[in-house]
């Protein structure tokens, strides 16, 4: 798959690359239009109603990360469960943007075959602070998985705007790699 750069034309690759180089989060403010977000939201709610999104789908259990969401790993290449078209368009836009990054490790980033979709109930559901990747405790200090970059897209409904609605991402920037208490 060759990502379509036109799908990420508003992406500021230089700013995102600089943030990554400095180990800082970066926000793509105009990633999707309100209509694209609303359409993707409808697709995810439909998957939840059909039972595709379930708590049991998470490879990381509720005990490990205190998950309270409903999750599915959607196949971005047409397998099952298939990623719905509006959500797939957003995944493709992310892939196109990632292909434009100046990646510090030299090679291109690998894009997974599956994209994770999660829905929270809006009644206080949360996900405990965690690392998407961490180093092993042995002397080689290898990464636990291949994840090098995490990208999150919120497709909240249009009226989902106040802090009481939830949905805030907290990044614990500057913590030591071995710190799982999130102290700086």
Q: How far apart are the first and last CA of the chain?
A: 40
Q: Which two tokens stand for residue 162?
A: 């106040």
pLDDT reading at 46 higher than 80: yes
Measured distance CA(167)–CA(122) in Å, rounded? 8
pLDDT tens digits for range 76-126: 998 999 999 999 999 999 988 988 887 766 666 777 889 988 887 766 666
Measured distance CA(68)–CA(58) in Å, rounded? 10
For 132, how many CA atoms within 13 A lie in the half-sphere containing its CB?
10
Per-chain mean pLDDT for the chain: 79
Residues of the chain with pLDDT > 70, as a percent, come to 76
Which has more confidence, 108 or 10?
A: 10
What are the Cα distances from residue 184, in Å, to 135, 139, 174, 179? 18, 24, 6, 9
- Scanning the chain, the segments in alpha helix (DSSP H) are 13-21, 34-50, 62-65, 85-99
Where does the pLDDT of residue 62 fall: very low under 50, low under 70, confident under 90, or very high at 90 and above?
Answer: very low
pLDDT reading at 176 higher than 50: yes
Read off the pTM.
0.80
């Amino acid at each position: 798959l060759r990502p379509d750069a036109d799908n990420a034309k508003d992406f500021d690759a230089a700013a995102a690359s600089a943030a990554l180089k400095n180990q800082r989060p970066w926000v793509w403010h105009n990633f999707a239009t309100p209509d694209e977000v609303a359409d993707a939201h409808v697709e995810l709610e439909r998957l939840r109603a059909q039972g595709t999104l379930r708590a049991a789908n998470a490879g990381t259990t509720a005990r490990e990360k205190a998950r309270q969401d409903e999750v599915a790993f959607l196949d971005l290449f047409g397998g099952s469960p298939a990623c719905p078209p509006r959500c797939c368009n957003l995944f493709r836009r992310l892939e196109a943007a990632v292909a434009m990054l100046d990646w510090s490790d030299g090679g291109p980033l690998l894009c997974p075959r599956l994209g994770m979709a999660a829905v929270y109930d809006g009644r206080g559901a949360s996900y405990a602070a965690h690392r998407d990747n961490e180093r092993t405790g042995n002397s080689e200090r290898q990464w636990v998985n291949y994840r090098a970059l995490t990208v999150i897209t919120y497709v909240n409904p249009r009226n989902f705007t106040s802090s009481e609605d939830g949905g805030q991402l907290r990044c614990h920037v500057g913590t030591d790699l071995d710190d799982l208490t999130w102290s700086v």
